[in-house]
Structure 1
Amino acid sequence: MKIKMRGQDVKVSYGSKEALHGITLDIPEHQVTALIGPSGCGKSTFLRCFNRMNDTIEGAKITGLITLDGENIYDQRIDVVELRARVGMVFQKPSPFPKSIFENVAYGPRIHGLVKSRAELHNVVEKSLRQAGLFEEVKDRLHEAGTSLSGGQQQRLCIARAIAVSPEVILMDEPCSALDPIATARIEELIDALRQNYTIVIVTHSMQQAARVSQYTAMFHLGHLVEVGATETIFTSPKEQRTQDYITGRFG
């Protein structure tokens, strides 16, 4: 099994407060890896290391090694804009640009110079919306504002926006926490389909969701990686008592 991304002894601090204490974790290619654990345990902080989103936080310091296909993503030669195209991100709250549905998806390919003609751009937009399971619902109103869509549709639009720049990895930070159960089920089905073409890392506060969508699960607690393994193993026979306590609801 190929390892797509790898974190080795990753530490993150904000000023004098250390948020992550030496995390080492492999992310297998074309699999869904779920990061679980109680609120404030560091799972979102770790996720954001994979596309250097923590760079945008004042006072954040990251040490250790994080690689994409074996290349150090914190190397000075790395173009961060290009990195964030290769490692896309979908946030907790759907966040469409204040633009039309079409322009939300077209924006990335256009600024990255991925298309040479209007026809090619239209093809990329349609393909991305289809992959996100949204095209049939919006094909007759592509000129309408992305913000006019329902919450679940907006989140699928944000997934289409990430897909449009041909990423290799998609990071999802609690992508369903603001959605109703029906919209959540649509996103979960979508995640399962997307892993054929992309490597996915998802932070979720829902253990049921982790069990449904992921092949691997990593348990975080107080900035430490407690254990990682095949999802079925983590949920049925975890090695660590803290994992057992969390999945049985003793803390969280």
Structure 2
Amino acid sequence: MEAAATTGVASVVLTSDTAPTKVHGKDVSVFYGEKQALFDVNLEIEANRVTSLIGPSGCGKSTFLRCLNRMNDTISICRVTGDILLDETNIYDREIDVVELRARVGMVFQKPNPFPKSIYENVAYGPKIHGMSHGKSDLDEIVHSSLRRAGLWNEVKDRLNEPGTGLSGGQQQRLCIARAIATKPEVLLMDEPCSALDPIATAVIEELIDELRENFTIVIVTHSMQQAARVSQKTAFFHLGKLIEEGKTEDIFTNPKNKQTQDYITGRIG
């Protein structure tokens, strides 16, 4: 059963039920050379929920997000310690195929970044390289289904062969979401997916996020506390590389246990 609670920040969705853990970060620390960016983060991410990571710029929330699909591997001086379990598998185990991992844990970036290809080829790219389709009809179904799930099908169905870069900013971001979900990931990471969008496009993406959580576990980094309150069921507050507090979104925004959390939410720090 869900009900709305009103706070000084925004309307928060209350959820009384619990969900199994999908991703579990245990004592996760990140180092860039000699500099430590994350300190012993322990966080459980629940299945088919939206978890928001909030905090000031440079607090470590995007760094933690990038740990969840090993994007930090692309930075030569970066070192990650601790364990991150996807279901019961440690994604930092040496036997893990990182390409396969990133098919299971998709990512949508801050700025829309469609490939310089057609709308169709943008969505078809992942399923092709992962061998997920058996012929053109299979691929068509994946592309069409992903565009529908991303709320974009009706706007582009008659121009699938046109460049994805020709779409508006909000449409490009939904195309990137369609591209991310085309490989049928279990987890979808979103790094400030609305920061480059206008309020109308942002509202469309937020509504989409709420629909997508029926099929995906979603982790979103956002600078907007209003957005975190609107879209997430769980919120984690980071500050200076440390996880300060995490819990149900309504509790974090209406009754935080930690003074630093309260100071951030009320605007005393930021």
The partner residue of 2:197 within 156, 161, 179 is: 179
In structure 2, the residue matched to 1:2 is 20
RMSD of the TM alignment (CA)? 0.4
C-alpha deviation, 1:251, in angstroms: 1.4
- Read off the aligned partner of 2:81 and give its amino acid letter: T
Query: 1:24-39 to 2 correspondence within 5 Å?
Result: 24-39=42-57
**In structure 1, the residue corresponding to 2:218 is in which secondary structure?**
strand
- Read off the aligned partner of 2:135 and give its amino acid letter: S
Alpha-carbon separation, structure 2, partners of 1:99 and 1:230:
41
Give ranges in structure 2 of 5+ residues lacking alignment: 1-18
In structure 1, the residue matched to 2:34 is 16
Alpha-carbon separation, structure 1, partners of 2:102 and 2:265:
33
In structure 2, the residue matched to 1:204 is 222
In structure 2, the residue matched to 1:113 is 131
Deviations 1:178-235 (CA, angstroms, capped at 9, x unpaired): 0000000000000000000000000000000000000000000000000000000000
C-alpha deviation, 1:148, in angstroms: 0.2
Moved runs in structure 1, 4+ residues, more than 3 A? none
Matched residues, number: 252
C-alpha deviation, 1:117, in angstroms: 1.0
In structure 2, the residue matched to 1:221 is 239
Deviations 1:58-86 (CA, angstroms, capped at 9, x unpaired): 20000000010110001111100000000
C-alpha deviation, 1:36, in angstroms: 0.1
Deviations 1:66-113 (CA, angstroms, capped at 9, x unpaired): 010110001111100000000000000000001000000001101100
Structure 1 residue 96 and structure 2 residue 114: aligned?
A: yes
Q: Identity rate of aligned residues, in percent?
A: 71
The partner residue of 2:252 within 234, 238, 241 is: 234
Alpha-carbon separation, structure 2, partners of 1:28 and 1:123:
29
- Read off the aligned partner of 1:5 and give its amino acid letter: V
In structure 1, the residue matched to 2:156 is 138
C-alpha deviation, 1:157, in angstroms: 0.2
In structure 2, the residue matched to 1:165 is 183
**In structure 1, the residue corresponding to 2:237 is in which secondary structure?**
strand
TM-score, normalised via structure 2 length:
0.93
- Read off the aligned partner of 2:193 and give its amino acid letter: P
**In structure 1, the residue corresponding to 2:84 is in which secondary structure?**
strand
Query: 1:66-81 to 2 correspondence within 5 Å?
Result: 66-81=84-99
- Read off the aligned partner of 1:244 and give its amino acid letter: Q
Alpha-carbon separation, structure 2, partners of 1:94 and 1:50:
20
TM-score, normalised via structure 1 length:
1.00
The partner residue of 1:129 within 130, 147, 151 is: 147
- Read off the aligned partner of 1:4 and give its amino acid letter: K
Deviations 1:140-165 (CA, angstroms, capped at 9, x unpaired): 00000000000000000000001100
C-alpha deviation, 1:168, in angstroms: 0.2
